[in-house]
Amino acid sequence: MTTSQLTHRLAQRDDIEALKALMDAAISENQRPFLDASQIASSRMIMGLDTQLVEDGTYFIVEDDGQLAGCGGWSRRATMYGGDQTPGRSAALLDPTKDAARVRAMYTDPKHTRKGVGRLIIALCEEAAKAEGFTSMELVATLSGEPLYSACGFEIVEQMVDDRGGAGVPLLQMRKSLIGDFPNTL
Ligand SMILES: CC(C)(COP(=O)(O)OP(=O)(O)OC[C@H]1O[C@@H](n2cnc3c(N)ncnc32)[C@H](O)[C@@H]1OP(=O)(O)O)[C@@H](O)C(=O)NCCC(=O)NCCS
């Protein structure tokens, strides 16, 4: 029997090339049960690395026995989703007294899915956002991401389709309160 040993740390600039490779594999492989090939190709326009998160110190890496297993983070900035290449991003700072912090750019290496990597990152994001005074979190989920977010207590508030990359990619805006009786998953 093997047991996995998950550890976490903040991503640094030196990690960026390895993160891009992990994201590329996760986009191709982990979305296959949810999207067709043209939708996966199209999703590359609206997914991937947002280096602002690394610069902000709000982007986590999870390692499994020292191997890069996944990444994801949160943001105190307005952008809801997308990578560096996605048009229409906004670096405007959110107001914790009235805005929801964002969960951003969650990717697990296909060799490390269903080990709790995503769940651990969400718990880290919630803890960090709460520490800055945010009382809720929002995100825009792919169909591949939705089961994770639902398992972590997020609820769907809106369905949408983004076709800026070609084929329409279904997306779900989801929200979670950080106050009240949601279980702490850390
Ligand atoms: C979304 C993603 C990051 C999930 O990562 P993960 O590390 O495998 O998730 P976890 O192991 O923490 O899953 C926690 C729970 O979420 C749910 N879940 C996660 N992936 C699931 C799937 N493919 N099918 C059904 N439930 C799933 C389960 O309840 C799971 O708990 P369980 O394994 O004990 O049943 C990963 O699938 C991925 O990289 N997808 C492609 C990129 C993407 O679309 N990211 C989201 C952008 S919004």
Centroid of ligand 1 to alpha carbon of 110 (angstroms): 10
Protein residue closest via CA to atom 33 of ligand 1: 114
C-alpha–C-alpha distance, residues 99 and 79, integer Å: 12
Residue 43, pLDDT > 50, answer yes
Mean model confidence pLDDT for the chain: 95
The CATH class of the 6-177 domain is alpha beta
Residue 13, pLDDT > 70, answer yes
Domain chopping of the chain, boundaries: 6-177
pTM as predicted? 0.95
pLDDT in tens, 145-185: 999 999 999 999 999 999 999 999 999 999 999 997 555 45
Q: Which value, to the nearest 10 degrees, does the dihedral of the CA atoms of residues 146, 68, 27, 31 take?
A: -50
Whole-number pLDDT of residue 180 = 75
Protein residue closest via CA to atom 1 of ligand 1: 145
Beta-carbon contacts of 130 under 8 Å, excluding residues fewer than 6 positions away, are: 178
pLDDT in tens, 82-103: 999 999 999 999 999 999 999 9
